[in-house]
Structure 1
Amino acid sequence: MKNHVVIAGLLAVILLFAGCVSESPEETTTTITVSAASSLTDAMTDVAAAFEEDNPNINVELNFAASGTLRQQIEGGAPVDVFASASQKHVDLLQEQDLIENASRVTFAKNSLVLIVQDGNPLGITSAEDLTNEDVVKISIGNPETAPVGKYAKESLESMGLWGNLEEKTVYGENVRQVLTYLEAGDVDAGFVYMTDAKIAKNNTIEIITTIPTVTEISYPVCVLKASENKDEAQMFVDYLTGETGKQILTDYGFTAE
């Protein structure tokens, strides 16, 4: 009888020990929010997926919109950890308000502006000057107030002396992807988008006519926000974006990686 008691006691101790081992705390997962310009949608989605695979304890939530819209969200207190803009201007404005970690700011990519038309080029457009022709009725650009692609396009048209003749024809898109959608659907005659967006257009919907020289270089800065509660993880993402894997993904999508 005593032997049974001893054995039962030993089993209880073993089970208790096993229970303690199985209840050891699991590693926690940290979630960071990355707000990025619409033109980065495809590339940033792939970068985030690769980052999560290499850092399984960090989850990345992506928020895409026009850079100006994202900046306004941040100024309004949106919980953002990393901001990747399609222009220096919007990060400059945040920096002036002391809303970013200055040391984290880095330019990671560059792009170019192109004039696109409907597939088959039914109006025979060969240059930006041709947009002044009477048969060209609608031209789409991003809203210059919020979408950097629109600001770049407007500056270029002004420098060529064309803006005054084209302003009444313009249809504003909320961001570069909306401009591309207008052309893919045949809702406008021509538009200005980034080269990287033109390259991912639906098959047989648009044609690239020419690259448009820009007054301001199209460059993309990224930074960590001061309000971030996960600055270490946010900086890890910035480092990954500007590292070997990030650069390769950006290059694959047609960006010039810095």
Structure 2
Amino acid sequence: MKNLVFAAPPILIRRDNLRKSALPILFFLMVVTMASASGCGSSGEQQLVVSAAISLSNAFEEIKAEFEKNNPDSNIIYNFAASGVLQAQIEQGAPVDVFASASEKQMDVLEERGLLVAGSRADFAQNEVVLIVPGNSVRSPANFQELVKPEVIRIAVGNPEIVPAGQYAREVLTNLGLWDKVQEKLVMAENVRQALAYVEKAEVDSGIVYYTDALISRSVVIAASAPPGSHRPIVYPIAVIRGSKEEELARRFISFILSQKGQGILQKYGFLPGSS
């Protein structure tokens, strides 16, 4: 059983109460314990726990397959969730070896608190913000400015308190003078993939997600890209977490992601090259 991947369970977030939510550390410890006890490999196998932003899940699954092919004694265990949730888990002592965030903000906090292995941090990918609509919609906004139209009733975004995609969406809407005008229309999602799912199912009229998320879906259409300068650059950093028992393997994993092969996989899924 080598292909264990875990995702955070749903987090209930109300629009009128956007306090930071975090997955209980007990759940994370249970996940890792289950993975270790499930006979994932031989006794000499090295397990690497990687907490990664959920927007990376498709690309990282292919990276896992390639990395384990070249490192047959390794077993990558993924924990996918919103970067803010993963940050909180690490702060609470979750046994994580590698953290890959969808924003520099969460990584900066961990670095300031001394929770990263010095010199292990690297920027490995970048992304873009897009406005998406259901593929079969008849009242879709054609651009961000049209979100204020009365026929646009619901707009899915990640909760800005814990979801980087939501933070970037808020920046875009604020810089375009739209944030206050569309507040009552916002449907807050626990992560960017949930925002994508709302649009795929036509439960909302539009959504704001990463370009890479829109790219993997056959059920949505990209209506517009965020104008240049409307948000901070979307940079994905990765680092080894202090206290990792597999620091050498963790560094090897990061090196693979930064390699030509790893970058090729990321670009296949729509990510732009990182700045490292």
2:131 maps to what in 1? 115
Which portions of structure 1, spanning 4 or more consecutive aligned residues, are displaced by more than 3 angstroms?
none
Deviation per CA, 1:21-75, whole angstroms, max 9, x where unpaired?
xxxxx88111010110010000011101110010011111011000000000000
* Structure 1 unmatched runs, 5+: 1-25
1:163 maps to what in 2? 179
1:153 maps to what in 2? 169
- What is the one-letter code of the residue matched to 1:128? F
* Structure 2 unmatched runs, 5+: 1-41
Rg larger in structure: 1
Q: How many positions carry a matched residue from both structures? A: 231
Of 153, 157, 167, 1:141 maps to: 157
Assess if the C-alpha contact under 8 Å between 1:139 and 1:169 holds in 2.
yes
How many Å separate the matches in 2 of 1:244 and 1:115? 30
Of 203, 224, 242, 1:210 maps to: 224
User: TM-score, with normalisation over the residues of structure 1?
Assistant: 0.87
Of 172, 179, 187, 2:188 maps to: 172
How many Å separate the matches in 2 of 1:145 and 1:70? 13
User: TM-score, with normalisation over the residues of structure 2?
Assistant: 0.82
1:5 maps to what in 2? none
Identity of aligned residues (%): 43
How many Å separate the matches in 1 of 2:160 and 2:234? 14
How many Å separate the matches in 2 of 1:48 and 1:120? 35
How many Å separate the matches in 2 of 1:50 and 1:36? 17
State the SS of the aligned residue for 1:64: strand
Deviation per CA, 1:109-167, whole angstroms, max 9, x where unpaired?
00000000111441141111111011111001001011100000001100111000101
1:103 aligns with 2:92: no
How many Å separate the matches in 1 of 2:268 and 2:191? 22
Assess if the C-alpha contact under 8 Å between 1:110 and 1:218 holds in 2.
yes
State the SS of the aligned residue for 2:119: helix
State the SS of the aligned residue for 2:133: strand
Of 193, 204, 214, 1:188 maps to: 204
Q: Quick check: 154-163 or 117-126, which moved more?
A: 117-126
The CA RMSD over aligned residues, in Å, is 1.2
- What is the one-letter code of the residue matched to 1:206? V
